[in-house]
Structures are given as C-alpha cells and as structure tokens.
Structure 1
Amino acid sequence: MRTNEERMNLIFSRAEEIQKEQQKRKQRWIEVGCVAVCMVLIIALGIGMPGIMGHAVSGSVTHNSGAASLIASQSQLGYIVVGIFSFALGCITTILLYRIKERRKDQAERKL
C-alpha cells in the first residue's frame, strides 16, 4: 500500500504532466496559426499585387535618379514585397520544422 504522501506526489506529478501537455498543444496551435497567417498573407499579396502596382504606375509617383530608384522602380516593387514576405514565411517554416524535430527527439529520449 502507498502512503498518503506517495499518493499526493503521484497526483501532483500527474497534474504537472497534464499541464505540460496542454501547454504543448496550445503552442502547436499557435505555431500552425502563424504559418497559416503568413501563407494567407503571401497569397493575398501575390494575388492583389498587380492591382496595387497598376494604381501606383498610373499615379504621379516619380523617382529621382540614384541607387534607391534602382530597387524601387514601380515594375519591380511588387516582386520585392512578395519576395520579402516569402523569405519571412521560409524563416518561420524553418523554425517550426526545427522545433518539431527537437520535440520529437525529446519524446524519443523520454520513451527510452
């Protein structure tokens, strides 16, 4: 038979395990949500960029000569914005996959 102290310790350890599982589940949803939001943002920008660039080209936007006008000309501005957001999505996806790999490694170590 177990003593009351042993039972209390088992109850507390099980409660801690349940809390950790809930935190992991919540963190997973946050990570998946961030990746989904980034993907939706990039797709929306990719779809809407021709219209946005059409308004910018038809407006009275002028560029002075210089280095900044080389990368901010109106024909390439849409590609620059989509490229930056795609890079951000790639970074977030890489971090997510790294965390998943570390989590699986930790779970494998716990099982052994």
Structure 2
Amino acid sequence: MFISDAMAQAAGAAGGENVLMQFLPFILIIAVFYFLMIRPQQKRVKEHKNMVAALRRGDNVITSGGIVAKVSKVIDDNEIELEIASGVKVKVIKSTISTVVGKPAPANDTADKK
C-alpha cells in the first residue's frame, strides 16, 4: 500500500527541467567532441587543400608513401608529375602529397653582381 503511493508521487514529480538535466551530459559530450576533434580535423583538411592547390613546378615535396621528389609539371587539378631521380618521372594524384619540404629560392640578381 505504501509502495504504490510512493511510486505515484515520484511519477508525478517529473517535469521539463528534469528532462533537460538528462540530456545535458550528451550535449556537453557533443560540444567537447566538436571542439577537440571535429574542428581541428576540418582545419587540417583545409590547410592541406590549400597547400596542394599552391603546388608549383620546382617545389620539393614528400608523398604519403614517403617518396621525396621535385614537382616537374602540374598536369591538371588532380595530377602532377614528380621527378624522383634524375630522369625518372612519375605521375601522382595531388592529394597524395603530404608535405612541401621547401620552395625553391627565388632568383636574386643582386647576389650574382657581388
């Protein structure tokens, strides 16, 4: 008899504030995932896309397979030709470039005059 009265009182006490408190941990977990995982990954993808779009002839690059090469020709938006050794050229997909090691130094006419 007392148990049924207690259960009836507990069921009637549920309100809108209690539902919000139940979902608050899930909302906080989603916010933490966004700021610690999703947002930084999107930033890295954007930086990689800009790096690949800026590739020019003469750039020294490292592919995702670990090959160090020099860009000999930009074929189109998706492919480039790399020179991995003297006279050895391969075509690769631009997105496989992981790092631009160094841009070639611009020609400096004043250094030749000294």
Greater RCO, CA 8 A, separation 6+: 1
TM-score (norm 2): 0.36
Larger radius of gyration: 2
